[in-house]
Structure formats: structure tokens, C-alpha cells
Amino acid sequence: MVRIGIIGMGRIGKVHLTSISTRVTGAKVVAVSDPYMGDEAKALVEKYGGIKICGDYHEILSDPEIDAVLVCSSTDTHASISIEAIKAGKHVFCEKPVDLSPEKILEVGKALEGTGLKFQVGFNRRFDHNFAAARKAVEDGKIGEPQIIKITSRDPAPPDPRYIAVSGGIFLDMTIHDFDMACFLSGSEPEEIFVQSAVLIDPAIGEQGDVDTAIIVMKMKNGALAVIDNSRKSAYGYDQRAEVFGSKGAVKTSNDSLSTAVIADDNGITGEKPLYFFLERYMESFSTEMIAFVDAVENDKPVPVGIEAGLNSVRIALAAKQSVAEHRPVTL
């Protein structure tokens, strides 16, 4: 049994608590910590019972009975808490991004060296049933050599502009998943990136120095071309699709919805909208990634998404920001 402590009980901390408590065998959450824990989070902790609430996360790090910690706190604390946890001898699951600075991510990697501890980054979309099936088709050679990767990622509603100031902007808090997915689906990494972007949804986002709409083109090291389109607001819901076109064929994924029922009448043909947002769309993937992490800890296996993926995605995101700022392609 892997005994887990969760540091940070905001939205994603609550997701992992629910997931582990209801869907993950071989693991148990024994302690949580968050200095700003709200009533909803406290009620959830009480619901699952037997979980200690710590005022200070150092109580979790110093508990010899806790095997692993989930770092679900604010982005600016991910790297420092991860390093503390590693020094305390804990396995670490860290939500993305590990940090907004590649140098700090490298510090985490340095702390890991020679410890034998597991460190997994929370790129849950790799564990989504749709994208995992697309990746398997590529791995199995079903479509031949990948030539074009197309990823659509559009949120149902823009974030509070104040969030932009601490998130690092669209490329580090939203597109970072798509950068990782482009690498995952193509089996390669980008060597050049070019971005066209605009503020088309909320002027307040532009006032924060960010954009809310973007088209990203990347040339991958294996020769494939990847295109990502992002929007902070999709009127019809959370739009999450991908396609890999190859020398022998193509594989594509569609949006998940509540049902596949289609109604045809004299008004036309209609179906369900996509599931509303990431909690509804990706809940199963959060469980699957945690099962993989627990398996790695319990059976001393390599984690499926290591710190290298966390570093790579941040480097790509920073290159995207540079492309926007300088209006040019950027070599990685």
C-alpha cells in the first residue's frame, strides 16, 4: 500500500483525492495540507475519512509513514516543494508545469540524481483513452511515418485575467498540454516553432500582456509538421481533438460527449455538445495516470512521464512566447 500526502487542496488536489479514494487500488491518501483550505475541500477530506489535515506541508514531508507526495500547490511552489520532498526521501508526483524556469526544473533533476526516487509530471492527457489509442496506432505503424499532427484545444470560457499574472500565460498554462501531446503523438520533439496570435476574446487578457487565440506551427526533429490551434473560449464547449496523418494513413480522435445519440427531425440533425471542461472530459485520465504512478512506486518501475517531459514542454512554451514577442520562427 502506497501512503500518499497531498500538498495543495485546490481544484486539482481535490481531483486527485477523489480519484485515489475511489478508483486507485494499492494507494491511500493519509494526509493533506493547504493553508487556504476551503470548506468544500474540508468536507471532501471528511467524506473519505481517516485523513489528517496538516496546517504546514512540512508535517507531510517529515512523516516517516508517508511514501509519496502529490505537489498540487501553486505553480511558483512546485519546484521548491519537490526538492524538499526529494530530500525528505519521498517519491513525487508534481503537477505541470514543474516550474516556469528551465533552470529551476534542472535543479529538481539534480536533486533526484542517485536517489532512486520516482518523479512523475502530471501530463494527464497522455493517459486519455482517445489520445492513448492514437499514440498506439502511431507506435504500431498503422499510419506509417507521421507527417502532419493537428491538435485542437479550445476552452469553454476564458480564465480570470488575474490568473494570467501567476500562470505564465496561455503557452505555459494551457498550450503546455498540447506541446506535450504533439511530442507524444509524433514520437519526436520540435526543432523550430512559429506562432501567430491575437487577443480576440477578452481585452483584459491583452492588458496582462498575454493572448487568448493562437495558431502554432512546429517542425519536428523527425521531419513531421505539427499544428496547434488554441482558443480561450469555445461557445459550444471544451473542444479537444487530434489527428496524425502519415505515409500510410491517418488516425484522428473526436470529442467526448454525454452520449453519441443524434436526433434527426424537420429542424435538422443535432447531437450532444462536448463534455464541459477538463474535470468532466479527463477525469478517467487523472485516475489512470495515478495508477501508473502508484505502480511505479510499488513495483520499482520507470514512471511513464518523467522530469524530461516537464522540462521539454516548458522550453517549447518559452520559445512560443519568444516567437510572439519577436514575430519570427524560433529554433529550439
In this predicted model, what pLDDT tens digit does every residue of 212-244 receive, in sequence order? 999 999 999 999 999 999 999 999 999 999 999
Q: How many contiguous H segments (helices) and E segments (strands) does the chain have?
A: 12, 15
Phi-psi region of 35 (alpha: psi -120 to 50; beta: other; left: phi over 0): alpha
* C-alpha distances in Å from residue 20, one per residue of 17, 27, 122, 286: 5, 7, 14, 9
Work out the percent of the chain whose per-residue pLDDT is above 90.
88
Q: Is the model's pLDDT at 93 over the cut of 90?
A: yes
Residue tagged 489528517 (cell numbers):
52
Cell numbers describing residue 164: 494570467
Listed residue (103, 143, 105, 151) closest to 255, CA to CA? 151
Homologous superfamily of domain range 126-276+313-331: Dihydrodipicolinate Reductase; domain 2 (3.30.360.10)
Q: Amino acid identity of 37? A: M
Instruction: Please state, in angstroms and rounded to a whole number, the distance separating the CA atoms of residues 44 and 73.
Output: 17
Query: What would the mean pLDDT of 151-164 be, rounded to a whole number?
Result: 92
pLDDT at 151 over 70: yes
pLDDT band at 164 (very low <50, low <70, confident <90, very high): confident
- Report the CATH fold assignment for 2-117: Rossmann fold (3.40.50)
Q: What pLDDT digit, counting tens, does each position of 252-285 carry?
A: 999 888 877 888 989 899 888 887 777 677 889 9
For strands 190-198 and 213-220, give the pairing.
Answer: antiparallel
The answer to whether the pTM exceeds 0.85 is yes
Residues pairing with 227 in the sheet? 150, 217
Mean pLDDT of the chain: 95
Asked if 6 and 29 count as a contact pair (C-beta separation under 8 A), the reply is yes
pLDDT at 325: 97
- What CA–CA distance (Å, rounded) separates 279 from 231? 18
Contacts made by residues 283-286, CB under 8 angstroms, sequence distance 24+: 283/15, 283/19, 284/128, 284/129, 285/124, 285/125, 285/126, 285/127, 285/128, 285/129, 286/15, 286/16, 286/19, 286/124, 286/127
pLDDT tens per residue across span 102-125? 999 999 999 999 999 999 999 999
User: What is the reported pLDDT for 132?
Assistant: 97
Read off the C-alpha cell for 42.
474540508
Domain residue limits, the chain: 2-117, 126-276+313-331
Q: Does pLDDT of 43 surpass 70?
A: yes
Q: Which of 20-29, 254-263, 304-313 comes out lowest in average pLDDT?
A: 254-263
Look up residue 227 and give its three cell numbers.
499544428
Torsion from C-alpha of 166, 169, 170, 175, nearest 10 degrees: -80
Q: Is the pLDDT of residue 144 over 90?
A: yes
Place of cell 529550439: 332
